[in-house]
Amino acid sequence: MTLAEAKMFLLNYDNYIRVFGERLLKKCLKEFTCRDFATSEYAEQGSYLDQHHIKKGYPILCACTWHIFEEWRGEWMRKVNKKAVEYQIPQPTQLNESLLLRACLLAKFPYLTSFDFPTYHLDDERGLHEIYIACGNKLGMLMSPQALYCPIDAFVENDFSLIEKRMKDYLINYLSRSYPDKDIYAEYILPVLNTPTAKKLKAILDKNAAESLQKTKKI
């Protein structure tokens, strides 16, 4: 899959360019095809949908065919066979983005291979890019994070404090609603930050930050 194809079919394309850059994204896209992020859709010839797809520049898979469309009038529906154009368009769900995100993360931050984390989509409705690294901690019956909330910026900047801040900002606000009498930081956040997984990640980021600083001083 090329960058041009990704720009057309990967709905999160701009975010990937912002976070990972063209060179790394281009490298990771070699493992994917358009079919991983695209699907086909029929549009009635001359319809609004047909004109929309033309303006978007979506590839035409079949310029003239017949397709059965549903026509609705209130609760009444009928099926009509009409001339149609078959287009290749972006998948609404983008399910394979989870695989692309993992490929990009491991390519940019190879040390993440030693951690257990799921991947979903790069962005969310707040524009916050983060992953959740499992810590395997058991914190009792009450709701607990059991994971490090890791902004991707923490890996970019080699700054573990961004993870600590994210944990505090989100979990104190979230858990205090259900448990106002609890010390959220002491009972729920600190135990996660003290897990071997968290300490391992902190050591890696601290080491990378120190090495980056040394390189800067030499320049």
pLDDT per residue of the chain (219 residues) written in tens, 0 to 9: 999 999 999 999 999 999 999 999 999 999 999 999 999 999 999 999 999 999 999 999 999 999 999 988 888 999 999 999 999 999 999 999 999 999 999 999 999 999 999 998 887 555 678 999 998 755 443 444 578 999 999 999 999 999 999 888 877 776 666 666 677 777 778 888 889 999 999 999 999 999 888 877 766
Q: Which residues contact 177 (CB under 8 A, 6 or more apart)?
A: none
CA distance linking residue 137 with residue 159, whole number of Å: 23
| pTM for the predicted model, two decimal places | 0.84
DSSP string, 166-192: HHIIIIIHHHHHH-TTS-HIIIIIHHH
pLDDT at 179: 67
Task: Report the half-sphere exposure of 38 (CA within 13 A, side-chain side).
Answer: 20
Report in angstroms the alpha-carbon separations of 217 from 37, 59, 208. Answer: 44, 51, 14
Beta carbons of 30 and 137 less than 8 angstroms apart: no
State both tokens at 37. 């992020």
Task: Report the percentage of the chain scoring pLDDT > 90.
Answer: 67
Helix (H, G, I), strand (E, B) or coil at 49: helix
Task: Give the whole-angstrom CA distance, residue 57 versus residue 171.
Answer: 44
> Which of these, 145, 126, 143, 127, lies nearest to 135 by C-alpha position?
145
